[in-house]
Every structure is written in C-alpha cells, then in structure tokens.
Chain A
Amino acid sequence: MTVETFREPKLVTAEEAARREPALRRIWETPPGLAGWLSSVDHKSIGKRYLVTALIFLILGGLEAAVMRAQLSQPDMHLLSPEAYAQLFTMHGVTMIFLYAFPVLSGFSNYLWPLLLGSRDMAFPRLNAFSYWSFLAGGIALYVSFIAGRAPDNGWFNYVPYASRGFDPGVNIDAYALGMILLGLSTTVGGINFIVTLLRLRAPGMSINRVPILIWGTLTASLGNLFAVPAVTLAFVLLWFDRSWGTHFFDSSGGGQPLLWQHLFWMFGHPWVYAIVLPAMGIVSDGLPVFCRRPLVGYSAVALATVSTMVLGFGVWVHHMFATGLPVSSLSFFSSASMVIVIPSAVAVFAWLATIWTGRPRFTTAFLFFAGFVLLFVIGGVSGFMTAAVPADWQLTHTYFVVAHLHYVIIGINVFAVVGGVYFWFPKMTGRFMNETLGKWSFWVMFIGFNLGFFPMHIAGLAGMPRRIYTYPADAGWGGVNMVITLGSYLFAVGVLLFLINIVVSRFKGRAAGANPWDGGTLEWSVSSPPPPYNFALIPIVARRHPLWEEQLAEGEDRSSTNAKGFLLDHGRETLGTTPIDAEPDVILKMPEDSWMPLLLALAVSGLCTGLLLKLWFLFGIGTAVSLLAAVIWLWPRRYLSQVER
C-alpha cells in the first residue's frame, strides 16, 4: 500500500457515490460470525451492545427491587433475612446507577453520535470497543460476588467504617471496588472518546452551535466524568489499602477520617447524577420537537443550561452530607448553591413547555414518553429543591422521601427519556417501527404504575420511614402506604415488561420504516434505516441546525448538502477531520480496522485488577504482562494509519 501524505478530498455527486458504495461496504463491513462480533469496532454495534446489556441489567435490578418490595409490603415480614435484604438493596442501587443508567446513555450516544455529526465512526473506534468490554467486565465482577454467595451489602455509597474489613469481611466489598475501578476506566476512556469526537469529527459546516442537544448532554457528562471519576477511583483504592494493607485513611482509631470517604464519594456522586440525566434530557430536547413539528424553543439557552448544570453540580456535593455535623456556614453555602441549580432546570422545563405549546403535537408513543417525562422531571426536581434546604433536609434525609426523589430522577428523567428514545430511534436502528398500540399500553401502564408506586414514597418519608430498613413494626403506621408502593411498583414493572416485549416482537415483525419515518430534521435521518456500515457514502456538508428541514423552515439562503453532493473518502477506512469550533475541513483521518486488542486488553486489565484485589499475585503478573503486550500491539505504529493533510 502506498502511503499518502497529501490528498484533496473529492467532492462528488450522489451518482458517483452510488457506484462506490459496494467498495465502501467492503471496506467498512465487519465480517460475520463470532470472530467478527468480538473484534468489531463499529460504533453502531457497540452502541447496540451497550443498550442491550444495560437493559439486561435493568431487568436484574428490577427483579431485585421486586423481591424487596414483597418484603416491605407489610410490617414484620420474614421473606428475607436482614443480610439478604442488605445485599439486594445494595445490588439494586449499584446495578441501576452504574450498570443501567449511565451505560444505557452511552449506548444511545455511541450509536447516534457519528450519525448526528455526519461522521463514519467515533474518533477512537478501538477505544470505544475497549470501553464496552471493560464496562461488561465491571458488571460481571459485581455479579460474580452475588453468585459467590455474598454481594456488596453496604448500600451503593458504601460508607466507611462499615465497609472496612473489621465490619464487613469477605470479598463482597473488594468485588465492589474492582467493579468500580473497571467501570471508572470504561467511563474515562469513553468520555475522552466523546470529547475528541466532538472536537474533530463534525461534518464540515456543523459549527458548535449546530450540534443537537444530545451532543451537548453527552459532551457535558463526559467532561464532568473526567473530573469526577478520579475521586471515586481514589476512594476505592484507599479503601483497598485500608482493607488489604492495614492503612488508616478512613479509620478513626488510626487517625483517619470516615468523612473523607463521604467527601470523595459525593464529589464524584453528585456530578454522576448529572451524567446520568443530562444526556437523557438531550434525548428529549431532540426528540420532543420532531413530534411538535418545530425546532426546540431556546436552543442556545438549553445548551448553556446543560453546561451550567454540570458546572454548578461540582459545587453541591455536601448536600448529601447536611447531617454529618459540618459547620453551619459551610452548609449554608452548599444549600444555596444547590438551590441555584433550579435556574438552569427551569430553562429546560420552560423550553420544553414552550415547544409543546407553540408546536403541533403528534401523539406517538415516543412523544407520550417525552411529554410524561416533562412532568416527572419537575416532580423529581422540586423534591430535590426541598431537600436542598438544610433544616428540611435534617428531617427528610435518609428517609423514603429521598428514595422517592431519587427514583423520580432516575426513572422519571432517565428511564422515561430512554424508553421514549428507544421508540424514537428503533426504526433507525432496525429498519422497523415498534408497535404503537402496544407502545401506548406500555406508556400508560408505566406512567400510572410509576406514580402510584413512587409518589407515596414521599408520604412514607414524611411519616418518618428511614431508608434501608428490612422491616418495620406495625405500630409505626407505614403498612398501608407500603402496600400501595408495592402494588404500584409491580404495575410499573408490568409496563416495562410490555415495552421489552414490544422490542422483541417489533425487531422481527415490526412494520418496515424508511430512512426518515418521523420526518426528523437532523443528519441521522438522512441515511437508510438501518444505516450502512460506513454511515454516510458522502460526508454531508451542513449549513443549518436542521439540515433536513431547511426547505420548510426557510431560514436564510445557505443550504446543507446531504446525499446530493459531498466528500467521498474511499482509500480504506477514512473520515473527515474538521476544526474544533467552526468545523472547517482539516485532515483526512485514517480509521483503524477491527481488532481483538480491545477485548484482550479488557480481559487482561480485569485479570490484573482481580489479582491485585484478591492478592492472587500470579494472576496479577499475567494480567500485567498481557495488558502491556495488548497495548503494544494496539499502539504499534502503522504508516498507513497516519493522518493525511488536505
């Protein structure tokens, strides 16, 4: 193969592109079979894997919750031992927060980003594959401890000293640490990938103020995670030192500080909450307007609100610690800072309301989920606003009021947006519609079940019911409200089941959908459904925020070019690199071929970490050696992969 150093990308017409499509397909297609599947670096298949894996974890976390709700349905039940209950509520929280809520959004973002941006893949496709495999390894590490008989049992925020070896011996907390380190790795490399993709791989003309809001959401989450994840990784490494080597970082008898854990955990934990909602809000900000037949009201305001929520989110972690005895002056600061987050949230809410009011809603299933989301967002938001008031929080914190709040945030803002997003983009991913009748049933059952099951949790909290109790005495007076919660949450589970059935049935029997079934305005709707392996035969040229709506919206003279004329890059796997702000064409980026190295590296790093945590030094040695080897092969310089100047 000759090595190029300079080439001007060819601007060609649709006819010429059509002639080259078989060649492009050969270049980009992953070979069929298991080998191809395990070595694929295609962002679409990685995205779908993320989505399916996250939904499987959603089912597991849901089953754990269902057992807990049976135990709590009546006072003094003996279905579960206290220890079993502790493992279930811990694994439920860990699963939903780390193995469902964020990965499911990574799934959407991985699948959609290159399609939304007019690119052929993510900036680092092999890193993307590695991100998925290490997420899977982290998830498996956590569940292996479950199967081994003792899962983490100290709640998802794992406070010391209960998490220290003296109180909680066994591998369960070590397994949690291992899982979190692998997930942190996955999140970090994934975040880097999104950031570089945004800076480098937008279609020519897609300046920073023309990217969809989902891009803003994921970008903000990724940047936030780069700063937040090190705190939790550090916390778990220090905990490992304490547990395995007798250090005293968190041990007060040796001069350590239990509160240090809480600070490190929540410095990560609070930004993480925004990481699991901002991309979901992006899904709604992009999906809702399509069904209102108009662009989103206040694009710039919503984009800025997205970023400022995360910035503020780094200054509010102490609101998880209002009752820990910190000085009042510090509490007042963090209380006020937490309340200020109401303002960017209000921007988003009024933007959605105005979009619906001034638009012409079409009541598809996806739209119902997005519209329902708006109300649930507000309910989850105002309960957060209530707990931001320090004295109120001294009563509300550690009770079911907080349980209600966090479920309105994670189910209301994440799950409803995600399910709406699946109904919205399923035709793009599979070429088939999901069933609308079953879809509407799934919405109403989920919406009614959710509110019936989770709203009364506020009442239980106001009646003094603490979190994480495996049972309660009859004379506490919480029996009635708990029965309602259990029944409502089971109804919600039925709704989720209908949604899952709909996915499976529609995957095989759904009505065929064209390239643009909802008449959407952004680039992903300009390619066939499902998209070809190379996404775009012609790299589009973008002149507006909604390239496919330009004729109707008639904003100014410039027109985007999708499918008619664009850059054809076909000397191997290639895509166009553009400048960070204005998206001027800059270089031709050579993209890597499929590779086994991401999978191998993820396995080796898992072995390395397992060896380290369990003091299996042989495993640690092999893991380290194979990690280094895999990294060398991965990074081995190949001249044909060097960038080409234009």
Chain B
Amino acid sequence: MKAAAFLMPLLGLSVSAQASPLGYLAGSGHDAIEISRLIALFGGVSIAVVVLVALLLLGGLFRRREPDPAHGRPQRDEGGMAWIYVGVAATVVVLAVCMFYNLKTIAAVASPPDDAALTVEITAHQWWWQVRYQDREPQKVFYTANEIHVPVGEKVRFLLSSADVIHSFWVPKLAGKMDVIPGQTNVTWLEAEAPGVYRGECAVFCGAEHARMEFRVVAQEPKDFQAWAAHQLQPAPPPGDAEIQAGRLTFESRCAACHTLRGSSAAGFAAPDLTHLMDRSTLAAGALPNDAEHLAEWIRDPQKYKPGTNMPQVPLSEADLAAVVAYLRTAR
C-alpha cells in the first residue's frame, strides 16, 4: 500500500515527462525504436533486480528469528556462502542474455548505411547548427540552419564536424546521439518512420549557451521533401515596397559580414544562412519563436535573450530595425 502511494506519483511524473517532445522511450525513428526496446529490456532487468534486493533486504531485516542463544554476543559463521553462489550464478545467466541482446542491437543500429538516400553535412557552431545538403550536381547543393528537413522512410546519413568546440548531435525521438568533435568527421544516420517535427539539441557542454542550442528535424513525405528542397534552391524573393528595399540595403551593409541571404549581396559565412528564414519556426537555435515581434527584439539586443551569443548588438535606428525586420519577413 505504502509502496503504491510512493509509486503512483513516480508513475505520473514518468508519464508527464515522456510527454516531452524530447522523450525517447516513445520514438519515431528506426534507431530510437530499436534502442527503446533495449532500454526496456535493461531497464526491466534493473527494476527486477532492485525489487528483489529490496525484498531480500527487508526480509533479512524483519524476518522472525529464534531466540538468540548467544544473548547478543557475536555468533559463529553459519555459512551464507550459498547466497553468493546462487546469487552470482543467477547474475551471470541474466548478464549473458543481456550482453547478447546488446551486441545484437549494436549491429542493428551502429553502422551507417551505404545506401543512404541523402547525405547532409552538419557543422556545429557555438551555438547553432549549419546544415549543408549534399548533391552530386553542384548547383543542387544548398545551405540552411537549425532546421533539417528529411524524407520519411528513407535513410539519411549525417557527416558531423565542428567549427569550434565539441558538441553532440541528438534527436532523441529519432536516434541516439553522436558527438561532434573538431578535427574529425563523425558519421551517423537516422530514419524517421512517421512525418512530424522532431526536436534536437546539443548534448555536450559547449560553453555559456549550451542550453540554447536546439534544432528541429522536419520529417516529410518524400514528395513534400522534394518540393521543400527545390524551394530552398531558389533565392529569396526580390524586395517589394520601399521599406523592404531600404531594409535590404541596411541588411547588406550591417549584417552581411556574417550572414548570407541569397537574393541579396549578403554572403557572410560565420552565421546562419537566412535565405529562407521565414520557413523556420524558431530564431537563434530555439531561443525565441520566429515572429516579427521576436525577430525585432532579437536584433535589438541578442545578449538579452542569449547571453554570450556571438551575434553582436548592431546599433540600428528604430526605422532601420523595422525595415530590416520587414525585409527578413520576406525571406521565405
């Protein structure tokens, strides 16, 4: 009864936590599903062991005993070795089964496939993700940032490299994590089994804003994905009215050292490509929602929302700021 009273809130907590967009026990990717089975086996064995030990411990503490012939003085060693023999033998058997299943799962999820439909290069930066879609035809290669679209039901290979320190690439609902280490290119892969938006995050401490280094994986039906990719290859539309035109000029003079926006002259490479910024749902790697109000707030004072970010506070008049926002709002 007491145990139930203790377990119920725990269970409630677990259920609410698994509702998290980052909970991986209910996965939607090939690897995540395989791994959640392994975690279920290992977790089940673990819980069983803890419960068994707790029962043996409670039994040992409170079992009924004959009156003490030694009257509290220490007693002779009356064995007990059988506990160790039986306990260790049982442990070895369970362990062997678990080790086998472990190696089997490693084989199923570890090796990146040779027949990947798509290869995406990820370059991790403090604190955002640069995304480059590879293609055999150079004119079909394009960049984006912080939001990765993938086709459902197809294996996507990721080549991971870092521009600065160690990061870790992790989309919990789709696959396990892989560290991103300067000086080496790590390879991982994932395959989404259902359309949806899956949250990803950096998992290795990488400096002040490690906590705000999110990204999203958007899994789409293959034909939707093809359409998205085709759209990404297009430059942003030319400016319409005068304010947008003014915004573009300000952007080109004040922001182009770091940002690229195809369709303008901005071709900087130190910060996210903004060509199709409006197709993304967040700003600054998940720090803020992507709407006009937050975009203006962010440009006005990036340090306020992401202390330590490499984006400087660019002094702009209110009119210039409004124009830049108006221009960026057309980048779709």
Binding site for B on A (CB under 8 A): 81-83, 86, 154-155, 159, 161-162, 167, 252-253, 256-259, 293-295, 297-298, 301, 323-325, 328, 331-332, 335-336, 339-340, 342-343, 346-347, 349-351, 353-361, 371, 374-375, 378-379, 382-383, 385-386, 389-399, 455-456, 459-460, 462-473, 475-478, 480-481, 484, 519, 521, 546, 549, 552-555
Contact = CB atoms under 8 A, between A and B. Distances in A.
Interface stretch (B94-102, B218-226, B249-257, B318-326): B94-102
Contact of B13 (A397, A473, A480): A480
Nearest to A157: B205
A257 B183 contact: yes
Contact of A167 (B50, B165, B187, B204): B165
Given A336-B99, A391-B102, A473-B286, A82 B209 contact: yes
A375 B54 contact: yes
A161 B92 CA distance: 41
B23 to A, nearest CB: 5
B192 interface: no
B84 A356 contact: no
Given A324-B179, A351-B84, A360-B65, 5 more contacts: A257-B183, A293-B72, A382-B46, A391-B35, A555-B76
A395 B83 contact: no
21 contacts: A82-B208, A82-B210, A252-B184, A294-B78, A298-B84, A324-B181, A328-B111, A335-B103, A339-B95, A347-B87, A353-B83, A356-B57, A356-B61, A383-B46, A391-B34, A395-B176, A398-B168, A464-B172, A468-B210, A470-B211, A473-B286
Q: Which 3 A-B pairs have the closest CB atoms?
A: A252-B183, A394-B176, A464-B22
A459 B76 contact: no
A481 B17 contact: yes
Contact of B110 (A161, A162, A390, A395): A390
Interface of B: 10, 13-14, 16-25, 31-32, 34-35, 38-39, 42-43, 45-47, 49-50, 53-54, 56-57, 59-61, 63, 65, 68, 70, 72-84, 86-88, 91-92, 95, 98-99, 102-103, 105-106, 109-111, 164-166, 168, 170, 172, 175-179, 181-184, 186-187, 199, 201-211, 286, 307-308
B183 A462 contact: no
Residue of A331, A355, A396, A459 with most partner-chain B CB within 10 A = A459
B165 A162 contact: yes
Given A161-B182, A353-B56, A258 B166 contact: yes
A547 B175 CA distance: 59
A301 B14 CA distance: 39
Given A346-B91, A390-B106, A476-B22, A298 B80 contact: yes
A346 B74 contact: no
Contacts of B164: 161, 167
A398 B204 CA distance: 6
B182 A392 contact: no
A323 B23 contact: no
> Which of B61, B65, B78, B92 counts the most A-chain CB atoms under 10 A from its CB?
B61
A555 B78 CA distance: 12
A386 B31 CA distance: 17
B16 A481 contact: yes
Contact of A301 (B17, B79, B84): B84
A466 B32 CA distance: 17
A342 B43 CA distance: 15
Nearest to B87: A350
A555 B76 CA distance: 8
B21 A475 contact: yes
B73 A354 contact: no
B106 A339 contact: no
B159 to A, nearest CB: 11
Given A162-B206, A464-B22, A466-B203, A521 B39 contact: no
Contacts of A154: 205
Contacts of B39: 386, 392, 395-396
B25 A332 contact: no
B102 A390 contact: yes
A477 B81 CA distance: 48
Contacts of B16: 477, 480-481
A382 B98 CA distance: 12
A76 B162 CA distance: 28
Contacts of A295: 74, 77
Contacts of B49: 378, 382
B59 to A, nearest CB: 7
Given A335-B106, A391-B109, A464 B88 contact: no
Nearest to B91: A346
A374 B102 contact: no
Contacts of A463: 17-18, 20, 22-23
Most-contacted residue by chain A among B176, B205, B207 (CB, 10 A): B205
A521 B77 CA distance: 13
Given A161-B164, A353-B83, A294 B77 contact: yes
A394 B74 contact: no
Contacts of A390: 102, 105-106, 110
A472 B286 CA distance: 11
B183 A258 contact: yes
Contacts of B74: 293-295, 519, 521, 546, 549, 552-553
Contacts of B81: 297-298, 301, 354
A347 B88 contact: yes
Contacts of A477: 16-17, 19-23
Contacts of A554: 76
Contacts of A346: 87-88, 91
Nearest to A477: B20
A643 B209 CA distance: 62
Point out which of A301, A374, A394 has the most chain B C-beta atoms below 10 A from its C-beta.
Answer: A394
Contacts of B61: 356, 361, 371
Contacts of B109: 391, 394
Contact of A342 (B25, B73, B91, B206): B91
B38 A389 contact: yes
Nearest to B89: A346
A466 B77 contact: no
A642 B42 CA distance: 59
Given A167-B207, A391-B106, A398-B203, A162 B177 contact: no
A546 B176 CA distance: 52
Given A347-B88, A389-B105, A358 B53 contact: no
B189 to A, nearest CB: 12
A252 B80 contact: no
Contacts of A391: 31, 34-35, 38, 102, 105-106, 109-110, 176
Given A161-B164, A462-B23, A469-B211, A357 B59 contact: yes
B93 to A, nearest CB: 11
A572 B180 CA distance: 63
Contact of B187 (A293, A325, A471): A325
B217 to A, nearest CB: 14
A358 B78 contact: yes
A349 B186 contact: no
A86 B208 contact: yes
Nearest to A357: B60
Contacts of A81: 307
Given A328-B106, A342-B91, A462-B17, A468 B46 contact: no
Contacts of A555: 76
B290 to A, nearest CB: 14
A471 B13 CA distance: 19
Nearest to B185: A325
Contacts of A396: 39
Given A162-B165, A394-B178, A464-B24, A481 B13 contact: yes
Contacts of A257: 183
B229 to A, nearest CB: 27
A30 to B, nearest CB: 35
